[in-house]
Amino acid sequence: MLVKLSLKKEFPLRSFSLFILFVFFIVVGSVQTEIQDSQNSARVMKQVIQSIAREKASFLAELSSISGFLESLAENPRIIDETARLYHIMLDADEHGKDGTPLRAIPSGKELYSIFRMMADRGLLDSQEKIKVADTMQHIPIMRWNITQLPDKVKKKIIAIYTIAQSTAPEKLVSALIKNNSSLFYLGNPFKIDLKGLNIPMTRKSAAGMKISEKAQLAYPPEIRQGFPRQSWARTYGEILNGGAYSIQQTDDGGYIVAGYETSLLGPTGYDFWILKLSSSGHTEWQRAYGGNGPDMARSIQQTIDGGYVIAGYISPSTLAERGFCVLKLDSAGDIEWQRACGGNDEDWPTSIQQTSDGGYIVAGITTSFGAGDYDYWILKLSASGDIEWQKAYGGSSFDSATSTQQTSDGGYIVAGYTSSFGTGGSDIWILKLTQLGDIEWQKTYGGVGSEWTTSIQLTTEGGYIVSGYTSSFDNGTGDIWILKLFPSGDIDWQRVYKGNSSDGAHSVQQTVDGGYIVAGFTESFGVGRRDVWVLKLSSSGNVEWERAYGHSGDDWAHSIQQTSDGGYIIAGKTISLLGAGGGDFLIIKLDSSGNIERVPELVHSSTAEVFDTAVIPINTFITAQNTDASSQIPLITVLDTDVTGHLLFSPPAGLTGTKLLNRSLSQAEYINILTWAANPNNDDLNIVKYRIYLMNVEWYGTYLLAEVDADISEYIHRNNIWKDEEYRYYVTGVNEENEEGIPALATVR
């Protein structure tokens, strides 16, 4: 009882105290919960940053070890200087580590590849070092894009992006933070998912602390999309008349420089030099036409050690009596630094140019002004400023045409072409090895009873040569690809024919990082058009590793191919088909390392070349070089910025079908053609805004535009002048937001 009374007396005070204490715990608990949630969020973000830092450290450590190997190769001071030039920092200047040093002061994978390729081209790698390089390049992560290619407003927001090779773990796919907001670029798909501006929920279930929002879209604004190019693509460039690309090279910034010709860019004078500087994704950075007062054509281009470009082509009469050699030296923006024309009283034209180790240039071509026969090889050695140091003609009594030249590791030159003056057939491949001053060290022909020609020779890593061309001497005589691997002496290491059932030929060959070869040309045996691009990847012994044909209806062929820094290949050529805008366009194709085009698989076709060895024995020739006395002149060159639109090639509408019906609803019977199609899933990351429907004239293969319909429409009814027994051919193309048309889907209605 006493206890009960005592409790009752103390209850109000204790109850109040307990109540206050209860409220206090609730308030404090709520505050602690908020603090804990905030701490959890901070901890999660810290985990993300630490994850990125670990990947960054691993990436840099791996590149650092490779940089050590690279530096061990570079014993030539000039190469060391050129290597150092490529060691540029791609991050913003204010991005520093804990000790205040820049985060990146070593080259990316792309830059390393460029350095390796430069060393190989100049004979600075022996065979074992070449194998080591090939093995190295297979194991380092290669930057898929270059920050310096992005517009400043985008570049300033990027901290860093590293591709984590062969990784699917979410925490390893978190590769970059964007300044001024907490969104990410997710690198889990080829085109990257743009999370910028979205609310990204935090979650403790994700090891990286981030969840991919369902609101993420694949579409990018164009300036960001250019920074994330696909590994493979195809584009055409041209007007409604005639043009074509002869030469392409990857540039130091990961883009490409292309040379060829286009009709009437400078007025009604015929062809003009047309030079395109492209980004790594094929977008045009600048384009210019160069020409005189007549037909002019660029045949060869190379980036020079100062970051500019040198071009060789022919120029029509201005200061010359007839068509002659023309060499233009451009700066990195395409402005002319100097120009030279050279020729005699008849026609002369160059086919190949290369910068030499002394900073000058070697030019090879054809002369009808000098020499012993109708056409002779003509070789000019120019100084760094374009002045002639020496000039010589080489040939016999008939037709001899030089098509390719390269400086050799001993300072001399190798020149390849074809001859009708010597050999065993109608024409044979003819190769000259020259000294540094143009004197002949050895000279040999290669051929059978038919005709052979070549337009490409390349120095290989062990000091020999690889030659690609054409032969009609073997099997059915329709024309086949012929590849010769030569020793440094010009004797044959191996020789092989690659054939179909019709006419095929090779225009370009290059040794690849793995010691094999990539060959490009044309085929009439495979593909879907009258003539298609044909590419063969060969092993070091000439076995086919893979082969593909590329093209559409009409004619498509390749003039130039080069391996790129990502292990793929870039091709330049010409299209006269529904892929282009007119009678002939530049055709530029970027392949992945397996020869595929991810963006437009419909352009890729299988081929099955028959391969067999040949047994040609080289024949020595015994001509002597003839000095020539052409003077160098400064031609009048007009320069014009052009604005020709390049077109991305993408997949056609899916399932296009056509049906002819009798429209019985009319008082008078009328036939109609109904076309139906569907969106192609290959184009899901493109903003297709409309479709264009064309009618093809069956008799003369002309086409005209029937209609345009919005992208949400997948049917078109053609009503006018449809006859029961007539055949009608249609093609339908998708059009994206940049007004680029994809390849056409075709339908025939009978």
Please identify which residue in the block is written with the tokens 């999309």: 225
More confident residue, 2 or 709: 709
* Per-residue pLDDT at 528 exceeds 60: yes
Measured distance CA(487)–CA(433) in Å, rounded: 12
Sorted by where each begins, the domain ranges of the chain are 27-198, 233-641, 650-749
**For residue 318, what pLDDT is reported?**
54
Length of the chain: 750
Q: How confident is the model at residue 737 (pLDDT cuts 50, 70, 90)?
A: confident
More confident residue, 605 or 57: 605
255-271: average pLDDT = 84
DSSP state of 683: G
CA 33 to chain centre: 56
What's the predicted TM-score (pTM) here? 0.72
**For residue 89, what pLDDT is reported?**
28
**For residue 118, what pLDDT is reported?**
55
102-106, 279-283, 353-357: lowest mean pLDDT where? 102-106
Q: Is the dihedral of CA 86, 89, 90, 93 positive or negative?
A: negative
Query: Are 290 and 642 in contact, with CB atoms under 8 Å apart?
Result: no
- List C-alpha distances in Å: 638 to 265, 339, 353, 632: 11, 11, 22, 19
Q: Give the CA-trace dihedral at 424, 426, 428, 434, to 10 degrees.
A: 100
Measured distance CA(262)–CA(242) in Å, rounded: 6
Per CATH, the homologous superfamily of domain 233-641 is YVTN repeat-like/Quinoprotein amine dehydrogenase (2.130.10.10)
First to last CA, the chain: 111
Measured distance CA(140)–CA(164) in Å, rounded: 10
Query: Are 323 and 643 in contact, with CB atoms under 8 Å apart?
Result: no
**For residue 45, what pLDDT is reported?**
44
Measured distance CA(645)–CA(647) in Å, rounded: 6
Per-residue pLDDT of 697-717, as tens digits, reads: 665 556 788 999 999 999 999
Average pLDDT of the chain to the nearest whole number? 76
Helix (H) or strand (E) holding 520: strand 517-523
Per-residue pLDDT of 281-332, as tens digits, reads: 898 999 999 988 888 999 999 999 999 999 999 988 655 656 899 999 999 9
Instruction: Write down the CATH number for the domain with range 650-749.
Output: 2.60.40.10
The DSSP code sequence of 452-475 is: EEEEEEEE-TTS-EEEEEEE-SST
Q: Give the CA-trace dihedral at 148, 154, 159, 161, to 10 degrees.
A: -70
Please identify which residue in the block is written with the tokens 């085009």: 597
Measured distance CA(75)–CA(569) in Å, rounded: 30
